[in-house]
Chains A and B, each alone.
Chain A
């Protein structure tokens, strides 16, 4: 318990909030990294998944890519990127690694969502004379939205976790408070940083949970 009070004292100490290494800056960095990389990975993964799903091709790729993503250690990828020329761009390795690990869940979920759209509905739409584009945007996309958004949620949580590990490889974000704590042998700081990260991750999960509850019924789907 004494460690928890010490961690709380560390968190509430006003000296630890301002500045480049301060909690406020790290929090903003973490938020910025998560949001920017989520948008980037959505821009990369979703068009590919929607087109592949619409055409019904590349299914093995879309499903296996998430298994591959699980087997490759985040930390190893971060360090490998740091040692390549990408490592000289400052936040380059972090951003690339974050996007790499957010793409698989997005791709897989969006693809599976597209393929799970009732084939009868698709055929009915075709029978009504819808073109491929109309079919994609007015039938398949709305119907696959629940699974697609679930993928976004998984990706967001994954991004928060990866951004934390990025601190081990010199990246910014809340993880830096933890690694700095380890370097200073300050257990209260390590625990305080971990609490911040945990609360941040749970908040992200919570935001998606609430968004799902208040969303209109057709977005939520039947599940």
Chain B
């Protein structure tokens, strides 16, 4: 169990894995309650009357004083999301192709991914705890399992939707199975696969916040510590950033989809 991983010492006292000497919130630390201006030495000054001290929801001072913390959380959020969706894609693609090739494999593959998807995220992360401990790997592994479900389902649906005539025409032109897959079937399955990728990415961005339970939740860490200290500005800012990341990722993937499947637009107009 790693100790530095923790960011949730707040209300419940010291973190059990770090012992009583664990990281207690100190003034200026992002876990510290915002209204603690009194210093132990020197004259007691009146508390500053800014939005941090008043614990307001929207606070410009929060953004300027905690810029680095926010930036680190956003970077962690992006890294973990990207990594899990990428690994999910790398595993899902062959699974979907195999399930398409051998009809008997489709049933079990879909059943297993559906069962995985039914397990709530908190339980999924907890079930992986004995395997990975309190690590970023645990969160990534959990998210990979979720994105796997969405990706396999959508890629398989896309492959199945390729018209039989198209496949036969390609075979008639002398295409082998590999060339058929790479140059005909996969490109035609792209729109459905990209739709799955978008859903998987948006879900991963939002589910990652639950990773705060093991200290690797990106912006979820800030939400968790903000909850323990009733720090409204931090919770709201982190939540809004999270939604913004999800929307930006969705739009980005939509743009990529338009770029790599120009024929879908031509057909519609």
Chain A interface (Cβ < 8 Å from any Cβ of B): 3-4, 67, 70-77, 79-80, 82-83, 157, 160-162, 164-165, 167-169, 175, 178-179, 181-185, 187, 190-191, 193-195, 197-198, 201-202, 205
Nearest 5 pairs between A and B by C-beta? Answer: A194-B126, A161-B120, A76-B239, A197-B123, A3-B130
Q: Is the CB of A168 within 8 A of B120?
A: no
| Interface of B, helix, strand, loop or mixed by DSSP | helix
Q: Which chain B residues have a beta carbon within 8 Å of chain A's beta carbons?
A: 1, 12, 16-17, 115, 118-124, 126-127, 129-130, 199, 202-203, 205-207, 209-210, 212-214, 220, 223-224, 226-227, 230, 232, 235-236, 238-239, 242-243, 246-247, 250
Q: With A71-B202, A157-B118 given, is the CB distance from A76 to B123 under 8 Å?
A: no
Q: Which residue of the partner chain, among B199, B213, B242, contacts A168 with CB atoms under 8 Å?
A: B213
Complex CA gap A168/B102 in Å reads 43
Is there contact, CB below 8 Å, between B207 and A73?
yes
Complex CA–CA separation, A76 to B12 (angstroms): 19
The reply to whether B220 and A75 form a contact with Cβ atoms under 8 Å apart is yes
Shortest Cβ gap from A23 to chain B (Å): 14
CA distance A165 to B207 in the complex (A): 10
- A71 and B126 within 8 A (CB): no
Q: Which residues of B contact A74 (CB under 8 A)?
A: 206, 209-210
> Which of A181, A187, A190 has most B Cβ within 10 Å?
A190
> In the assembled complex, which residues on chain A have CB atoms less than 8 Å from the CB atom of B16?
183-185
Q: How far is the CA of A185 from the CA of B236 in the complex (A)?
A: 29
Name the one of A72, A76, A168, A190 contacting B235, with C-beta atoms under 8 angstroms.
A76
Contact A201 B118, beta carbon cutoff 8 Å: yes
Given A74-B206, A175-B122, A202-B118, is A79 in contact with B223 using a C-beta cutoff of 8 Å? yes
Give the shortest distance, in Å, between A11 (CB) and chain B (any CB): 14
* Structural contact, B227 and A197, CB atoms closer than 8 A: no
B123 and A198 contacting across the interface, CB-CB below 8 Å: yes
Q: Contacts A73-B239, A75-B224, A187-B130 known; list 4 others, CB within 8 Å.
A: A198-B124, A198-B127, A201-B120, A201-B123
> Do A79 and B119 contact each other (CB < 8 Å), given the known contacts A71-B243, A73-B242, A187-B130?
no
Complex Cα spacing A175 to B124, Å = 12
Q: Is the CB of B223 within 8 A of A165?
A: no
Q: Is the CB of A76 within 8 A of B205?
A: no
Max chain A C-beta neighbours (<10 A), residue from B209, B227, B235: B227
With contact pairs A76-B238, A76-B239, A169-B227 given, residues A70 and B206 touching in the complex (Cβ less than 8 Å): yes
